[in-house]
């Protein structure tokens, strides 16, 4: 049997395999075998097409407009089935796993298995999983313009993708104009840890019509959107179970993330979203939703975070965590900071906020102490462009929105909630009209 050497670089992981030739429609029977389907249509008679049932380093290549049609496509079925590869390459080349309403799975119990969709190739499936059982370190690479994995669902099945359902350290990389489209939810770290989704380069898109969850149970899972890559979903959760902590999302270098609703730390702790040169758009955003801990984070270093809707009623709430703005543009219809453990730190960048709702216990006049004819006013500030202590003379009928208030002391660019300051209003207690005070925040 003729043998040849060949190498593949997949998302930072190098697998060297040696191939032996085999008829294009045969199933793999030993290690180091290759099936090549080139320029023809092949309908697999069995329910499942295995690339590595119990085997090591087997390869399936679909190329030159070829089509393989089956019910299931499974790479790395048993624990011994590792380092197997399927490659779908070239315009018109399709691997269709839709007969009978089934899926494609990369790494069931085996590890180090890979699916590569390149140069305009396409994979179509009802559902998908990478590391579905105990399989770890499996990978999917979707690269080049026209290369697509379409997880379409069928007959009421939504079309879900799980990256690390039970296995750890699995990854999906979408690059150089590749696309992944799912009809249902996408889970990165369903019930495992250290799994990742990377979307990078102009034209690269990951979209789904359901929820995107970065860890639904455990932690240390990641989403990276960079260099013009785009992610579009309905609702997103970064850590959505009590033990799903330390999950991270980075939107950098022109990457974009669009959501209807976004929860950073829905029920987990130490989850974070960092925006550095990218853009995040949501209709509602909550930092730290349900868990008692207060250590979730949204940080804007550069780029933009926009929380708005058509009615301009969208809310950005720092509930149980920290909102940090070091640069870029933060725009929100309403910014809410009412939870005692919430923090908002503003050290740079631009805030465009229509309404601010803060905890009255952390934004208020604390005391007024007479000092002769003067009045010493102490008050707690909220983060904003200007914090102004204002005063007026005469009766305003208890209406603190009335006109007639003027600034008597202004602090600019305060960065934190509850910072205490004071002002000595000279002559405020001398004979004259009644004097009223209020604190005003301009975000």
The string of pLDDT tens digits covering residues 184-217 is 999 999 888 999 999 999 999 999 999 999 987 7
Asked if 224 and 196 touch (Cβ cutoff 8 Å), the reply is: yes
Choose the final residue of a domain: 341, 358, 375.
Answer: 358
Give the separation between CA 418 and CA 381, rounded to whole angstroms.
5
Shared domain for 282 and 348, answered yes or no, is yes
Q: Are residues 395 and 348 in the same domain?
A: no
Of 358, 383, 401, which one is at a domain's C-terminal end? 358
pLDDT exceeds cutoff 80 at 159: yes
pLDDT at 113: 97
> Is residue 352 located within the same domain as residue 369?
no
pLDDT above 50: residue 13: no
| Listed ranges 127-141, 145-159, 348-362, 427-441; the one with the highest mean pLDDT | 127-141
Confirm if 167 and 138 have CB atoms less than 8 A apart. yes
81 and 51 inside one domain: yes
pLDDT of residue 199: 98
Cα 286 from Cα 403, distance rounded (Å): 34
Which band of pLDDT confidence, cut at 50, 70 and 90, is reported for residue 3? Answer: very low
With beta carbons less than 8 A apart as the criterion, state whether 435 and 370 touch. no
Q: Which residues pair with 390 in a beta bridge?
A: 407, 438
Confidence band for 36, pLDDT divided at 50, 70 and 90 = very high
Q: Are residues 219 and 261 in the same domain?
A: yes
My answer on whether 36 and 86 are in the same domain is yes
CB 53 within 8 A of CB 30: no
Which pLDDT does position 163 carry in this prediction? 95
Residue 19 has pLDDT above 90, yes or no: no
Q: Report the length, in residues, of the chain.
A: 443
Cβ 98 vs Cβ 61: under 8 Å: no
- Nearest-CA neighbor of 296 among 361, 343, 358? 343
> Could you tell me if 101 and 50 lie in one domain?
yes
Locate 99 and state its tokens.
Answer: 């007969």
Mean pLDDT of 409-413: 89
Averaged pLDDT, 416-421: 83
pLDDT of amino acid 10: 35
Domain count of the chain? 2
pLDDT of residue 403: 62
Q: Which domain holds residue 371?
A: 364-442
CA distance 237 to 265: 7
For residue 18, is pLDDT > 80? no
Can you give the pTM of this predicted structure? 0.82
Q: What is the pLDDT of residue 103?
A: 85
Mean pLDDT of 97-109: 82
- Regarding whether 401 and 305 lie in a shared domain, the answer is no
- Give the tens place of pLDDT for each residue, 108-144: 999 999 999 999 999 999 999 999 888 799 999 999 9
399 has a pLDDT exceeding 90: no
C-alpha to C-alpha distance for 175 and 347, rounded to whole angstroms: 34
Nearest by Cα to 351 from 417, 300, 390: 300
Q: Is residue 96 scored above 50 in pLDDT?
A: yes
Nearest one of 422, 336, 343 to 387, comparing CA atoms: 422
Residue with tokens 């079309």: 159
Residues 353 and 376 in one domain: no
> Same structural domain for residues 345 and 425?
no
Q: In the structure, what pLDDT confidence band is assigned to residue 421 with cuts at 50, 70 and 90?
A: very high
Q: Are residues 425 and 338 in the same domain?
A: no
Residues 348 and 388 in one domain: no
Cβ atoms within 10 Å of 100's Cβ, excluding its own: 12
Distance CA(201)–CA(255), nearest Å, equals: 8
> SS3 sequence, the chain?
CCEEEEEEEECCEEEEEEEEEECCCCCCCCCCCEEEEECCEEECCCCEEEECCCCCCCEEEEECCCEEEECEEEECCCCCCCCCEEEEECCCCEEEECCCCCEEEECCCCCCCEEEEECCCEEEECEEEECCCCCCCCEEEEECCCCEEEECCECCECCCEEECCCCCCCEEEEECCCEEEECCCEEECCCCCCCEEEEECCCCEEEECCEEEECCCCCCCEEEEECCCEEECCEEEECCCCCCCCCEEEEECCCEEECCEEEECCCCCCCEEEEEEEEEEECEEEECCCCCCCCEEEEEEEEEEEECCCCCCCEEEECCEEEEECCCEEEEEEEEECCCCCEEEECCCEEEEEEEEECCCCCEEEEEEEECCEEEEEEEECCEEEEEEEEEECCCCCCCCCCCCEEEEEEEEECCCCEEEEEEECCCCCCCCCEEEEEEEEC
167 within 8 A of 134, measured Cβ to Cβ = yes
Output the pLDDT for position 292: 65
Contact 81, 112 (CB under 8 A): no
pLDDT digits (tens, 9 = 90+) for 286-342: 999 877 688 999 999 999 999 999 999 999 999 999 999 999 999 999 999 888 788
Chosen domain end from 307, 334, 358: 358
Q: Provide the mean pLDDT of the chain.
A: 87
For residue 358, pLDDT beyond 90: no
Mean pLDDT, rounded, for 236-240 = 93
């Amino acid at each position: 049997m003729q043998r040849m050497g060949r190498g593949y670089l997949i998302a930072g992981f190098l697998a060297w395999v040696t191939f032996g030739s085999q008829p294009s429609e045969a199933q793999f029977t030993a290690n180091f075998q290759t099936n090549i389907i080139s320029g023809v249509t092949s309908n697999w008679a069995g329910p499942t097409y295995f690339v590595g049932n119990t085997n090591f380093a087997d390869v399936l290549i679909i190329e030159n407009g070829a089509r393989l049609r089956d019910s299931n496509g499974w790479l790395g079925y048993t624990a011994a089935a590792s380092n197997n590869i399927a490659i779908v390459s070239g315009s018109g080349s399709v691997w269709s796993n839709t007969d009978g309403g089934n899926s494609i799975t990369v790494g069931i119990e085996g590890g180090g298995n890979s699916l590569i969709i390149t140069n305009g190739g396409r994979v179509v499936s009802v559902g998908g999983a990478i590391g579905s059982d105990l399989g770890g370190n499996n990978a999917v690479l979707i690269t080049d313009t026209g290369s697509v994995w379409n997880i379409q669902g069928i007959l009421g099945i939504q079309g879900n993708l799980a990256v690390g359902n039970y296995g750890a350290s699995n990854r999906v990389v979408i690059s150089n104009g590749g696309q992944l489209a799912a009809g249902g939810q996408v889970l990165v770290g369903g019930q495992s840890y250290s799994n990742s989704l990377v979307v990078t380069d102009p034209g690269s898109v990951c979209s789904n019509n359901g929820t995107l969850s970065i860890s639904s149970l455990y932690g240390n899972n990641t989403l990276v959107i960079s260099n013009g890559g785009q992610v579009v979903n309905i609702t997103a959760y970064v850590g959505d179970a009590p033990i799903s902590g330390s999950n991270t999302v980075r939107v950098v270098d022109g990457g974009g993330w669009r959501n209807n609703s976004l929860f950073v730390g829905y029920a987990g702790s130490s989850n974070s979203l960092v925006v550095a040169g990218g853009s995040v758009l949501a209709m509602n955003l909550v930092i730290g939703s349900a868990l008692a801990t207060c250590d979730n984070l949204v940080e804007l270093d550069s780029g933009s975070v926009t929380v708005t809707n058509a009615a301009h009623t969208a809310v950005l709430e720092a509930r149980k965590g920290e909102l940090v703005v070091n640069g870029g543009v933060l725009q929100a219809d309403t910014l809410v900071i009412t939870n005692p453990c919430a923090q908002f730190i503003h050290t740079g960048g631009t805030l465009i906020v229509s309404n601010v709702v803060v905890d009255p216990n952390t934004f208020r006049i604390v005391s007024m102490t007479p000092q002769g004819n003067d009045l010493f006013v102490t008050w707690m500030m909220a983060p904003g462009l200007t914090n102004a202590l204002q005063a007026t003379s005469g009766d305003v009928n208890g209406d603190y929105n009335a006109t007639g208030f003027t600034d008597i002391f202004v602090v600019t660019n305060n960065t934190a909630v509850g910072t205490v300051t004071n002002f000595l209003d000279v002559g405020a207690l001398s004979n004259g009209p009644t004097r009223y005070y209020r604190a005003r925040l301009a975000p």
